[in-house]
Amino acid sequence: MSDLEPLPASRKFTVSRRPEKFADRITTRIWLEEPSSENPYVAKASYCHGYNILELASKRSFSDVIYLLFRGELPNEHEAELFASLMVSFINPGPRHAATRAAMNAGVGKTDPSNILPVALSIFGGEHLGSGEVEPALRWLRKNLKKSPQDLARELLHTVGSSDREGDFHVAPGFGSFYGSIDEMSSAIAEQLLRLPAAGPVMKWAAEFSKILNTAQMGWLSTGVVAATLADLGFQPRVAPGIFQIMSAPGLFAHGIELASKPLTAMPFPGAATTSSRSRRNEG
Amino acid sequence: MKDKKSAVSTSIWDHNRGVVRSNIGGWVIGKGVVNRGYEMMEDFVGKLSYMQVVIFNATGRMPERRLADFFEAVHICLSWPDPRIWCNNIGALGGTSRASALASTLAGTLATDARSYGIRPLLEGLAFIQDALRQYKEGMSVEDIVRKEAARHGGKPSMMGYARPIAKGDERVPALERVREEKGFPVGEHLALAFAINDHIAQVYSESINVNGYVSAFWSDQGYTPEEAYRIMAVGVSSGVTACYLDTRGKPAGTFLPMRCEDIDYQGVPPRELP
């Protein structure tokens, strides 16, 4: 790099404020707080997308109001049924999921209970069967919806072949093998959700896609079911990870707090790691 | 194990079930703590700087002390106690909410796993300068490298590491330049190219290199990959977040940038009847 000028010792660095215009106030389309006439910091009424929160609290379900928060409108009867059913179906990733085990580790260590969910949800953000997989899954489904699901599945299976891969393989985000085979639980959940009237074109497309994958011991994964259902309910891809975190949070916290009243010995502590690293103690 | 009906092999899971298999090492109770062939209590404690161990744990390679000192200087550069900076703001909000110091520090730190600022842009910063050097060696001029990047961003010189939010220029660059010179590191080919890009965009766009562009080039000269630099710097801002936590933790709860109802500009639908 001899033709590049070496750094002159006298190089000048100056720092000045960029003439950017920042907002005077935070804006939101979600929540309105009407100030009390006595104290401008105190709200006398709150509205979620125009609906009084007290009225919502007395007449609508938790899942309806979650839907309202993100979609701006309340769900109709069929949408409400599908969304509520999805949320119950994935209320708990189960005690073997890495995020649940993170919750358990946090719990058994007696962290503050308020720390359990942030810990667990951070791990749940992963791209392998976590919320990090549902956004790409939803984008992938929307991008491929016009293709034949059968042809695409065959093409992908042909492309990936049956190589000597170790572990699981996701042929597309949200779809693949689960411990080397079909994820029976996710398939059963998808089947049940598909029977509901609000199940739409994305779920139906993904079901056809999964059927072909089944021939290669692959199919729906939890993340694929969540992505396809949220797509049919009109949720944007960027919203999907948070919705998946919200629906799985109860199970994660339940397992974490269950361990919080138990001693450290309540969880396995395996033997020392078997390791192949050689000693470097006598190296120069 | 193979399931007879489906011929599904679960051997990789059976092999790892209930057994920790590590390529690194671990604690052997009563004997010591093995870390990639070293015994930590004997070989590390009191002999290495903490930052050397951080880099070793993040890359598997042991850096010389002066290089670890440079990384440490970068951590100081990211540890500003200004609660207007987004991650630090989270720390201050934790303090005013009486969240714990650790929860607040980690919450602010996690926010820097972001595209607009913080630690994640290092991935793009190192990738950019490494790719730019490859193109330069293939014959592309500095002007063309910048023009090509600008074309991808609507004509703006939006290379990662050049220009920054809020301000033009970056006071951390001359500070780290001083450290580099004091530690005796020469200007490598990535850093030389980074300064050439800096000079060009200063002339054409009135922009300049920022701390990301500078350290991305320097660390590329030291042989680090984008992912390695990102791992080493994972909690790079944490100390500044803690400082901002401390400031609001010492004041009455709920008094950090309090807002009246009217301070929020509501632009949604007006109040309506529930169907």
Question: A213-242, pLDDT tens digit by residue?
Answer: 999 999 999 999 999 999 999 999 999 999
B39 interface with A at CB cutoff 8 Å: yes
A77 reaches B (C-beta below 8 A): no
Mean pLDDT of chain A: 92
Kind of pairing, strands B25-28 and B32-35?
antiparallel
Contact with chain B for residue A2, Cβ under 8 A? no
Looking at the fold, whether A39 and A131 belong to one and the same domain comes out as: no
- Take residue B136 and report the two structure tokens written for it: 């330069």
Contacts of A236 (CB under 8 A, 6+ apart): none
B124 in reach of chain A (CB within 8 A): no
User: Could you tell me which residues are beta bridge partners of residue B168?
Assistant: A16
Q: Which residues in B lie closer than 8 A to residue A270 (C-beta atoms)? A: 18-20
Q: How far apart are CA A199 and CA B123, in angstroms?
A: 40
Q: What is the pLDDT of residues A96-146, one digit of tens each?
A: 999 999 999 999 999 999 999 999 999 999 999 999 999 999 999 999 999
Question: Is A275–B19 a contact, with Cβ atoms under 8 angstroms apart?
Answer: no
- Domain co-membership, A139 together with A51: no
- Report pLDDT for A270: 83
Whether A40 has its CB under 8 Å from any CB of chain B: the answer is yes
Which token pair is B22? 């590590």
Q: Is A246 on the interface with B (CB under 8 A)?
A: no
Q: State which amino acid sits at residue B88.
A: N
Distance separating alpha carbons of residues B172 and B77, to the nearest angstrom: 6
Tell me the per-residue pLDDT of A155-205, one tens digit each, with 9 for 90 and over. 999 988 766 678 899 999 999 999 999 999 999 999 999 999 999 999 999
pLDDT the model gives residue A3: 56
Confidence (pLDDT) at A282: 59
- Summarised one tens digit per residue, pLDDT across range A21-38 is 889 999 999 999 999 999
The Cα of B270 is separated from the nearest Cα of chain A by a number of Å equal to 5
Q: Which residues of A touch B6 (CB under 8 A)?
A: 181, 217
Do A225 and A147 lie in one domain? The reply is: yes
If asked whether residues A158 and A70 sit together in one domain, one would say no
Q: For the residues of A88-107, what is the DSSP string, one character each?
A: HHTS---TTSHHHHHHHHHH
Residue among A227, A43, A15 at smallest CA distance from A136: A227
A contacts of B170 (beta carbons < 8 Å)? 13, 15
Residue of chain B whose Cα is closest to the Cα of A43: B261
A14 to B36: CB separation less than 8 angstroms, yes or no: no
Distance CA B71, CA B160 (A): 19
**In chain B, where the domains are located:** 23-63, 78-116+239-250, 121-232
Runs of H (alpha helix) within chain B: 11-16, 50-59, 65-77, 86-96, 101-110, 121-137, 142-152, 172-182, 189-205, 211-221, 226-232, 238-249
Q: What is the pLDDT of residue B3?
A: 47
- Positive or negative: CA dihedral B141, B145, B150, B152: positive
* Amino acid in position B49: S
Q: How far, in Å, CA of A152 to CA of A161, rounded?
A: 14
Q: Are A67 and A106 part of one and the same domain?
A: no
Tokens of A66: 């979650």
Question: Do B266 and A122 make contact, defined as CB atoms within 8 angstroms?
Answer: no
Please, which residues have CB within 8 angstroms of residue B114's CB and are 6 or more apart in sequence? B86, B120, B121
Q: Are residues A147 and A67 in the same domain?
A: no
Beta bridge partner(s), residue B209: B162
> Measured in whole angstroms, how far is the alpha carbon of residue A151 from the centre of its chain?
28
CATH fold of B121-232: Cytochrome p450-Terp; domain 2 (1.10.230)
> Do both A117 and A251 map to the same domain?
yes
Task: Give the confidence band of A10 by pLDDT, cuts at 50, 70, 90.
Answer: very low
Positions of E strands within A205-252: 219-220
Q: What are the pLDDT digits (tens) for A53-108? A: 999 999 999 999 999 999 999 999 999 999 999 999 999 999 999 999 999 999 99
| B187 interfacial to chain A (CB closer than 8 Å) | yes
Q: Are residues A170 and A38 in the same domain?
A: no
Question: A249-284: per-residue pLDDT in tens?
Answer: 999 999 999 999 999 999 988 887 777 666 776 554
Does residue A114 sit in the same domain as residue A185? yes
Contacts of B162 in chain A (CB under 8 A): none
- What pLDDT, on a 0 to 100 scale, did the predictor assign at position A283? 57
- Report the distance separating Cα B228 and Cα B234, nearest Å: 10
Whether residues A240 and A109 share a domain: the answer is yes
The Cα–Cα gap between B38 and A140 comes to 45
Cβ atoms within 10 Å of A37's Cβ, excluding its own = 8
Looking at the structure, tell me whether residues A149 and A183 fall in a common domain.
Answer: yes
Strand, helix or coil for residue B236:
coil
Q: Which domain holds residue A172?
A: 98-259
**What's the domain count of chain A?**
2
Give the up-direction half-sphere exposure of residue A272: CA atoms within 13 A in the CB hemisphere: 14
Residue listed under structure tokens 């965009």: B201
Question: Residue B195 corresponds to which tokens in the numbers above?
Answer: 């300064």
| Inter-chain touch B28–A272, beta carbons under 8 Å | yes
Query: Across the A/B interface, how many CB contacts are shorter than 8 Å?
Result: 179
DSSP A279: P
Positions in chain B whose pLDDT score sits under 70: 1-7, 157
User: Does some domain include residue A116?
Assistant: yes
B160: number of Cβ within 10 Å: 20
Best mutation site among A2, A12, A41, A44 for testing chain B: the one with the most B CBs within 10 Å? A41
> Parallel, antiparallel, or unpaired: how do β-strands A26-28 and B264-266 relate?
parallel
Nearest-by-Cβ selection for B274 from A6, A55, A274: A55
Q: Is A111 left (phi over 0), alpha (psi -120 to 50) or beta?
A: beta
Is B104 an 8 Å CB contact of chain A?
no
pLDDT at position A15 is: 79
Do A207 and A71 reside in the same domain of the chain?
no
Does A143 touch chain B if contact means CB atoms closer than 8 Å? no
DSSP B14-58: HHHTT--EESSEEEETTTEEEETTEEIIIIITTTS-HHHHHHHHH
Q: Are B158 and B121 in contact (CB under 8 A)?
A: no
In A36-129, DSSP assigns E strands to: 43-48, 51-52
Which residue is closest to B181 within chain A, CA to CA?
Answer: A9
Phi, psi of A46 (to 5 degrees): -125, 140
Residue A42: phi and psi, rounded to 5, are -100, 135
> Which residues of chain B have a CB within 8 Å of the CB of A74?
275
DSSP state letter for A167? S
Question: Which of A196, A166, A171, A197 has its CA nearest to residue A182?
Answer: A171
